[in-house]
Amino acid sequence: MAEITLIEAITQALAYEMRVDENVVVLGEDIGTNGGVFRATLGLLQQFGPERVMDTPLAESMIAGAAIGMASQGLKPVAEFQFVGFIYPALDQLFSHAARMRNRTRGRLTCPMVARAPYGGGIHAPEHHSESPEALFSHIPGFKVVIPSSPARAYGLLLAAIRDPDPVIYLEPSRIYRLVKQEVPDDGHALPLGKCFVSREGHDVTLVSWGASLHETNKAANMLAKENIHAEVIDVATISPLDIDTILASVAKTGRCVVVHEAARNVGVGAEIAAQIMEKGILTLLAPVQRVTGYDITMPYPKMEHLYLPTEERIIDAVYTALEYK
């Protein structure tokens, strides 16, 4: 079996689900003829034709509105937004209609759509290409918010997102699209939404992260192991609904927690995780929860991205702060 990248795993998942379910359609800017800006939909137009692979105008509100209409009438649209920084014109449709469809109709209608978007920094692009607004979406009831961290997770989580009866915001960390390769069986096996994954066992400190930042987190765990500090690494994967039980179980074992994300610190998902640990697991804590995050500024332009994104060194410093707390 050939190893594939995260972006290839997304293509593989889309093609699989389109083969087995004729109600699955994809739409977005340049996703047909050009195969998408990152080539996530490459080859789908040739396989499934223009009735199921639809190029749209540069109109994000229209893309979201069309997807909601399709979803309410029995289709399963996967809408691509070229970058998450371009999704904001669609928020009225997504927040006011997609997220509320089940509640508004008392369950008579649901909205089985997926909104895909490349997100996050690290590709040396302008500011609207480098945003990390996962907290914005996770604050809205009615959405599931999913962020994969590897090719295998991307494949399994996207299949689950397409099969879910409610809207899923599927954020793809663009800086790891082609960072690593894995063997990913094209077997249609979905991974559960709403569940964290324990990526590494440990007993000294719990490191919680998701998306691209999981790679720096794992590197930090490897470096700490050389100092005989054994970190447990949790891949959150689904930001909303949050699987706090897996995190609490790990913190009960280690007594210390560091949350790592590249989004801005203020009102970030890390703050929610820290708050729930304090509310539900404070008696197991040996030190305050630490956060390693981006800064409360717009992502700086390309040459300064490395100063914004969390690094292994910042993660290790936070771990030592937790270990040395008295």
From the list 122, 137, 178, the residue with the least C-alpha distance to 10 is: 178
Q: How far apart are CA 229 and CA 297, in angstroms?
A: 33
Please report which confidence band the pLDDT of residue 127 belongs to, taking 50, 70 and 90 as the band edges: confident
Render pLDDT for 177-226 as a digit per residue (tens, 0 to 9).
999 999 999 999 999 999 999 999 999 999 999 999 999 999 999 999 99
Q: Which ranges constitute the DSSP H helices of the chain?
A: 6-20, 44-48, 60-72, 91-93, 101-104, 134-138, 151-163, 213-225, 244-254, 269-281, 305-308, 312-323
Q: How far apart are CA 81 and CA 292, in angstroms?
A: 28
Please report which confidence band the pLDDT of residue 124 belongs to, taking 50, 70 and 90 as the band edges: confident
Q: Flag whether pLDDT at 126 surpasses 90.
A: no
Contact 212, 183 (CB under 8 A): no
Q: Flag whether pLDDT at 302 surpasses 80.
A: no
And the tokens for 274? 């820290």
Q: What is the pLDDT of residue 128?
A: 81
Look at 90-94, 237-241, 300-304 and tell me which has the smallest mean pLDDT: 300-304
Q: Flag whether pLDDT at 1 surpasses 90.
A: no
Q: How far apart are CA 54 and CA 80, in angstroms?
A: 10
Q: How far apart are CA 104 and CA 307, in angstroms?
A: 44
Q: What is the pLDDT of residue 200?
A: 97
Q: What is the chain's mean pLDDT, rounded?
A: 97
Please compute the mean of the pLDDT values over residues 23-43 and round it to a whole number.
Answer: 97
Q: How far apart are CA 265 and CA 254, in angstroms?
A: 24
And the tokens for 226? 């050389």
Q: Flag whether pLDDT at 105 surpasses 80.
A: yes
Please report which confidence band the pLDDT of residue 301 belongs to, taking 50, 70 and 90 as the band edges: confident
The alpha carbon of 131 is separated from its chain's Cα centroid by a whole number of angstroms, namely 12
Domain 3-183 sits in CATH at: 3.40.50.970
Please report which confidence band the pLDDT of residue 303 belongs to, taking 50, 70 and 90 as the band edges: confident
Residue 107, Cβ density class (10 Å: 0-12 exposed, 13-18 middle, ≥19 buried): exposed
Domain 197-323 sits in CATH at: 3.40.50.920
Examine the residue annotation and report whether 203 is marked as an active-site residue of this protein.
no
Q: How far apart are CA 173 and CA 210, in angstroms?
A: 10
Render pLDDT for 51-85 as a digit per residue (tens, 0 to 9).
999 999 999 999 999 999 999 999 999 999 999 99
76 forms beta bridges with 24
Domain boundaries, the chain: 3-183, 197-323
The alpha carbon of 13 is separated from its chain's Cα centroid by a whole number of angstroms, namely 16
Contact 36, 64 (CB under 8 A): no
Q: What is the pLDDT of residue 169?
A: 98
And the tokens for 246? 């897996």
Q: What is the pLDDT of residue 282?
A: 96
Selected catalytic residue, list 97, 128, 129, 215: 129
Q: What is the pLDDT of residue 2?
A: 87
Helix (H, G, I), strand (E, B) or coil at 257: strand
Q: Flag whether pLDDT at 150 surpasses 90.
A: yes
Contact 248, 277 (CB under 8 A): yes
Please compute the mean of the pLDDT values over residues 5-22 and round it to a whole number.
Answer: 98
Q: Report CA-CA distances (Å) from 16 to 73, 121, 193.
A: 22, 29, 18
Query: What region does 308 belong to: left with phi over 0, alpha with psi -120 to 50, or beta?
Result: alpha
Please report which confidence band the pLDDT of residue 262 belongs to, taking 50, 70 and 90 as the band edges: very high
Same fold, 3-183 and 197-323: yes
Q: What is the pLDDT of residue 255?
A: 98
Please compute the mean of the pLDDT values over residues 128-146 and round it to a whole number.
Answer: 95
Q: Flag whether pLDDT at 270 surpasses 90.
A: yes
Look at 61-75, 125-139, 154-168, 236-250 and tell me which has the smallest mean pLDDT: 125-139
Contact 6, 151 (CB under 8 A): yes
